[in-house]
């Protein structure tokens, strides 16, 4: 406390914390570079959209690969829930019912996705497109901001960083993966994460790092695995390349780990429920590999940095690392920059080598991708490599004025030599075509000319910066238009929507509060239920239940590692799964067995059929029948026949009626008896088969998955034709033909439906039902069984809670796929309620970590205010001291040089004490590593000392 009471009284009262806005800092002229950085990449994309005819400039839409099959449907499901008050925990519209919270943690976690509620229902595609464009603009802004903050550039100099921001936003990574909209948040946050990491290491200010990394993990934890590995590498780089950091290595690294851990905790609201669910996914079965197989050489990898190289999204592991042709000039300039320490150059070089091994070796590839070898879409961490290159390139650009004409020319010639060598020597030479070489060489020459002109004088530098930005936009427009933005017809994608919407209104009116499921006869995607808002049994996602993906093919339906669908379903499997309605694009032929009834048709060419023999959500079966059902039969038909036999006693419900035929690329056969027919094509045959029956033709894909083909009802003498549509394939067709005994389906249904569970009401997370059990047995439901523990550690927790007759009751599963339980004879009420396992724990951890971040912010502001106050008090005490000395001189008429008060300081003992106390306060409040370090004033190397001796105009 100050000893001077008047000074203490004049001190401002302490407040909890204050925020002061520096108006000079936020002038429009200072913000303008970032507005330009945001607008230019979007402008480039809009030019490409016009060229592609993307809506509203045409009838195309920016849907590609998984954006077509997964993301767009999931965004629609999110909007449907927000519009209709549905729960974000669970969805019946995906895969018999799925954990929507776990799915959202992977695909929809960005909080800004909630803005989709403001968009009309018919513009979900446009919302996703706008989100992609916005995030690309933000990528440019954040890298520009990072580079300017790192080098403390302001005014006109700040615009040079925009060039590199555009290259980051429109890189080869974006050309390949921009449609992965949920990944892009991590990309635009990454420069801020690195900026925060630098502040943590150099200034002991860790809040920016913690908050930005926390939001990165929250928005997409999968890519954030790579972000965390990247910042760990960069942290070692920072601690190793600055000499003064070595002595504080342990302390700095401990703070880095602490803030990283806090950031991870912040995302627990998604992380904990997802990793509780993780054991249910196919990715949980991945095993570690120490295979150090090399995929390619350094030269081959670097050749993929050329302009117009087609991005690779397949299985050959090529990275997508294009980031502008100027980088071939700027990286050599970086190494020529004498102001950069040798230690830093070595550090960046080691980082680049580390990334090369990350791209090219199988073991590192496995680690970077979350201990999983990616199924296509390789090198998903390559945006970090691009960030490093652009950071180095900017450092090279900042020293252009010190480059000689000879250095510039030899750099250009070296870059051109590499381009020519890449055409002749790269293994990936099929992608290094003439237009790749010519375009790359032309832009290298153009950038070299601008660099030379920029170096020569100051008068036209502003104009040259504008020209460089324009040239950068032209280059990236050409590259993006050639290598990216695949499209599909928007009307083709949405043409079925209105008809299905009308159909669902009819179905909902018929069913009231009853539970039902719907499937399309021809699936466009396995997530059509999410896109068209109907309860489906199909799913394609990274969170797909691996027990269902295992069960479906045993029942003759299509399945893969992370997908399962209704393709291959029979009338019998539709029955046991409770698929009550079928939506078709065509009118089905009449059948004499009454398998289905036409419900409605409309002007949108949509037909709705009710399946007359569908079963409810649950039904009681004989316990022994389920236990004895052999799920390991040789084929799906054998397994289905065994189930029918165990429950009803009927044998060979699907009978083999394969005709004699000659295996070839095209087979035509006829049937001898009326009936409903199915084909099982050999997995070793062609991957695609064209089936023509009753004048209707359809292609079936992925035949290696071994599912059944539905021929429908055929009369005796009708023919069908199977054809291999791949003219280049030599594989012949081999198949088995089965006839379902539809005349016995009424008997089968009656036995299965002896004790049905009647649903009284249902919501996303709650089902109320009753059942009259005529004979004690097992209630078999088609509610997916969901349980898990956090990363397989500890006791498993069930997400569904079940009450029987008002009493909470435990239950078990059938093949870990569906909920089952034993019920005694008599009437029972049942109540199913759902909450994702781990959600409550995750929410509490997120709130506590958010509170910790707020406290860090408040304490930080108070600390800054305390330091500033102590400095102000010391300065004021010094002013008071000199003022008092002058007054003393005047009062006692002491002759002394004006302003020289040192001779009178001894007469002001109290004031000196006050000043000393104030300065002591400053010393106590400033941590050790924030005190002035005399070593900072000394050059780190001879190079740095040489830089100090440069003439003023060369610094």
Is the pLDDT reported for residue 420 higher than 70? yes
Percent of the chain with pLDDT over 90: 63
Q: How confident is the model at residue 936 (pLDDT cuts 50, 70, 90)?
A: very low
Work out the average pLDDT over 810-833: 96
Quote the pLDDT of residue 17.
40
Work out the average pLDDT over 918-927: 44
Q: Report whether 437 contacts 425 (CB < 8 A).
A: no
Quote the pLDDT of residue 295.
86
Quote the pLDDT of residue 947.
41
Is the pLDDT reported for residue 546 higher than 90? yes
Quote the pLDDT of residue 925.
43
Quote the pLDDT of residue 884.
81
Q: Mind listing the pLDDT tens digit for each residue in 24-39? A: 555 656 789 999 999 9
Chain center to CA of 478: 27
Q: How confident is the model at residue 756 (pLDDT cuts 50, 70, 90)?
A: very high
Is the pLDDT reported for residue 199 higher than 90? yes
What separation in angstroms does the CA of 109 have from each of 183, 219, 529, 531?
A: 11, 5, 21, 18
Work out the average pLDDT over 381-399: 95
- Minimum mean pLDDT range among 287-291, 517-521, 524-528: 287-291
More reliable by pLDDT, 483 or 456: 483
Q: Mind listing the pLDDT tens digit for each residue in 703-735? A: 989 999 999 999 999 999 999 988 878 889 999
Quote the pLDDT of residue 25.
56
Mean pLDDT comparison of 248-257, 422-431, 645-654, highest-scoring range: 645-654
Quote the pLDDT of residue 439.
93
| Bond prior to 56 in cis (omega within 30° of 0) | yes
Quote the pLDDT of residue 587.
87
Is the pLDDT reported for residue 456 higher than 80? no
More reliable by pLDDT, 912 or 686: 686
How high is the mean pLDDT of the chain? 87
SS3 for 577-616, per residue? HCEEEEEECCCCCCCCCCCEEEEEECCCCCEEEEECCCCC
Chain center to CA of 920: 51
- Minimum mean pLDDT range among 6-10, 629-633, 644-648, 931-935: 931-935
Work out the average pLDDT over 441-466: 85
Q: Mind listing the pLDDT tens digit for each residue in 599-655? A: 988 767 899 999 999 999 999 999 999 999 999 988 999 999 999 999 999 999 999
Is the pLDDT reported for residue 62 higher than 80? yes
Quote the pLDDT of residue 805.
95
Strand, helix or coil for residue 677: strand
Spatial CA neighbour of 437 closest among 451, 447, 424, 427:
424
Quote the pLDDT of residue 427.
62
SS3 for 622-636, per residue? CHHHHHHCCCCCCCH
What separation in angstroms does the CA of 728 have from each of 160, 664, 665, 732?
A: 52, 14, 11, 12
Is the pLDDT reported for residue 149 higher than 80? yes
Is the pLDDT reported for residue 904 higher than 90? no
Q: Report whether 321 contacts 173 (CB < 8 A).
A: yes
Q: Report whether 506 contacts 581 (CB < 8 A).
A: no
Is the pLDDT reported for residue 244 higher than 50? yes
Chain center to CA of 159: 30
Work out the average pLDDT over 378-389: 96
What are the counts of helices (DSSP H) followed by strands (DSSP E) for the chain?
A: 33, 30
Q: How confident is the model at residue 908 (pLDDT cuts 50, 70, 90)?
A: very low
Adjacent-strand bridge partners of 819: 813
Quote the pLDDT of residue 187.
97
Spatial CA neighbour of 535 closest among 88, 89, 91, 71:
91
Q: Which residues contact 3 (CB under 8 A, 6 or more apart)?
A: 910, 913, 914, 917
Is the pLDDT reported for residue 418 higher than 80? yes
Is the pLDDT reported for residue 182 higher than 50? yes
Provide the Cα torsion 240, 244, 245, 246; round to 10°: 60
- Minimum mean pLDDT range among 80-84, 283-287, 450-454, 482-486: 283-287
Q: Report whether 271 contacts 221 (CB < 8 A).
A: yes
Is the pLDDT reported for residue 303 higher than 60? yes
- Minimum mean pLDDT range among 227-236, 509-518, 689-698, 877-886: 877-886
Structure tokens at 193: 């994460």
Quote the pLDDT of residue 933.
43
Q: Which residues contact 315 (CB under 8 A, 6 or more apart)?
A: 375, 376, 378
Quote the pLDDT of residue 271.
94
Q: Mind listing the pLDDT tens digit for each residue in 767-800? A: 999 999 999 999 999 999 999 877 666 678 899 9
Q: Mind listing the pLDDT tens digit for each residue in 829-855? A: 999 999 999 999 999 999 999 999 999
Quote the pLDDT of residue 903.
46
Backbone CA torsion sign across 757, 759, 763, 768: negative
Strand, helix or coil for residue 439: helix
List the Cα angle 155/159/161 in 5-degree steps: 120
């Amino acid at each position: 406390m100050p000893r001077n009471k008047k000074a203490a009284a004049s001190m401002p009262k302490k407040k909890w914390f204050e925020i002061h806005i520096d108006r000079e800092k936020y002038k429009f002229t200072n913000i303008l570079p970032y507005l330009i950085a945001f607008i230019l990449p979007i402008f480039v994309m809009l030019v490409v959209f016009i060229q592609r005819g993307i809506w509203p400039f045409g009838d195309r839409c920016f849907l590609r690969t998984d954006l077509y099959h997964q993301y767009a449907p999931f965004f629609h499901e999110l909007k449907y829930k927000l519009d209709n008050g549905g729960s974000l925990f669970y969805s019946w519209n995906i895969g018999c019912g799925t954990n929507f919270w776990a799915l959202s943690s992977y695909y929809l976690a960005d909080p800004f996705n909630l803005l989709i509620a403001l968009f009309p229902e018919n513009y979900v595609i446009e919302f996703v497109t706008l989100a992609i464009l916005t995030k690309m603009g933000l990528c440019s802004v954040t890298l520009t901001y990072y580079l300017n903050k790192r080098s403390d550039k302001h005014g006109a100099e700040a615009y040079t960083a925009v060039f590199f921001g555009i290259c980051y936003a429109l890189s080869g990574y974006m050309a390949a993966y921009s449609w992965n909209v949920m990944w892009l948040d991590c990309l635009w946050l990454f420069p801020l994460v690195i900026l925060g990491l630098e502040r943590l290491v150099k200034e002991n200010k860790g809040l920016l790092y913690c908050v930005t990394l926390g939001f990165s993990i929250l928005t997409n934890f999968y890519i954030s695995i790579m972000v965390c590995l990247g910042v760990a590498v960069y942290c070692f780089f920072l601690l190793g390349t600055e000499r003064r950091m070595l002595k504080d290595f342990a302390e700095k690294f401990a703070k880095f780990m602490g803030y990283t851990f806090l950031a991870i905790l912040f995302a627990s609201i998604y992380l904990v429920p997802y990793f509780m669910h993780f054991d249910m996914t196919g990715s949980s079965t991945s095993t570690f590999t120490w295979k150090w197989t090399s995929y390619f050489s350094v030269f081959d990898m670097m050749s993929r940095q050329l302009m117009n190289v087609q991005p690779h999204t397949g299985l050959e592991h090529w990275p997508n690392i294009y980031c502008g042709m100027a980088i071939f000039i700027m990286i050599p300039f970086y190494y020529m920059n004498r102001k950069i320490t040798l230690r830093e150059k070595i550090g960046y070089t080691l980082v680049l080598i580390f990334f090369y091994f990350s791209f090219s070796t199988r073991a590192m590839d496995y680690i970077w991708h979350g201990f999983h070898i990616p199924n296509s879409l390789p090198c998903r961490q390559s945006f970090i490599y691009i960030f490093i290159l652009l950071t180095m390139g900017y450092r090279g650009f900042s020293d252009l004025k010190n480059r000689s004409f000879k250095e510039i020319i030899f750099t250009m010639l070296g870059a051109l030599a590499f381009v020519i060598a890449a055409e002749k020597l790269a293994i990936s030479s099929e992608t290094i075509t003439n237009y790749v070489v010519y375009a790359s060489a032309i832009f290298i020459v153009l950038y070299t000319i601008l660099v030379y002109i920029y170096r020569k004088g100051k008068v036209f530098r502003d104009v040259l910066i504008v020209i460089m930005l324009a040239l950068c936009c032209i280059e990236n427009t050409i590259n993006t238009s050639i290598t990216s933005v695949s499209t599909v017809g928007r009307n083709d994608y949405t043409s079925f929507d209105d008809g299905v919407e009308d159909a669902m209104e009819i179905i909902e009116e018929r069913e009231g509060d009853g539970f039902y499921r719907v499937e399309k006869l021809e699936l466009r995607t396995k997530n059509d239920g999410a896109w068209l808002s109907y309860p489906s049994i199909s799913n394609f996602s990274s969170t797909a239940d691996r027990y269902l993906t295992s069960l479906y093919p045993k029942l003759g339906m299509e399945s893969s590692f992370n997908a399962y669908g209704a393709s291959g379903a029979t009338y019998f499997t539709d029955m046991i799964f409770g698929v009550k309605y079928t939506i078709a694009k065509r009118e089905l032929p009449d059948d004499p067995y009454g398998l289905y009834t036409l419900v409605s048709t409309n002007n949108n060419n949509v037909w709705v059929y009710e399946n007359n023999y569908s079963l409810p959500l649950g039904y009681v079966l004989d316990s022994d029948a389920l236990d004895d059902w052999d799920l390991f039969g040789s084929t799906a038909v054998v397994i289905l026949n065994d189930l029918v036999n165990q429950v009803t006693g009927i044998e060979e419900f699907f009978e083999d009626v394969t005709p004699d035929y000659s295996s070839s690329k095209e087979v035509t056969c006829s049937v001898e008896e009326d009936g409903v027919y199915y084909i099982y094509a050999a997995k070793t045959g062609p991957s695609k088969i064209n089936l023509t029956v009753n004048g209707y033709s359809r292609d079936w894909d992925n035949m290696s998955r071994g599912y059944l083909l539905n021929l429908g009802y055929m009369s005796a003498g009708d023919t069908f034709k199977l054809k291999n549509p791949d003219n280049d394939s030599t594989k012949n067709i081999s198949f088995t033909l089965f006839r379902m005994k539809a005349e016995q389906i009424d008997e089968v249904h009656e036995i299965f439906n002896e004790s049905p569970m009647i649903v009284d009401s249902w919501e996303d997370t709650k089902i109320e039902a009753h059942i009259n059990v005529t004979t004690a047995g097992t209630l078999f439901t088609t509610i997916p069984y969901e349980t898990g523990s956090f990363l397989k550690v500890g006791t498993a927790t069930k997400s569904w809670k079940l009450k029987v007759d008002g009493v909470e009751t435990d239950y078990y599963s059938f093949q870990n796929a569906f909920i089952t339980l034993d019920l005694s004879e008599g009437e029972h009420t049942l109540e199913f309620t759902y909450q994702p396992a781990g959600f409550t724990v995750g929410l509490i951890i997120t709130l506590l970590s958010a509170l910790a971040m707020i406290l860090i912010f408040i304490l930080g502001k108070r600390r800054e205010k305390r330091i500033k106050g102590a400095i102000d008090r010391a300065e004021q005490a010094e002013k008071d001291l000199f003022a008092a000395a002058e007054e003393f001189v005047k009062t006692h008429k002491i002759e002394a040089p004006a302003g020289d008060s040192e001779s009178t300081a001894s007469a002001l003992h109290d004031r000196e004490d006050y000043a000393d106390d104030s300065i002591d306060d400053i010393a106590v409040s400033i941590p050790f590593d924030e005190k002035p370090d005399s070593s900072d004033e000394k050059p780190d190397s001879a190079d740095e000392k040489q830089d100090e001796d440069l003439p003023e105009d060369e610094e």
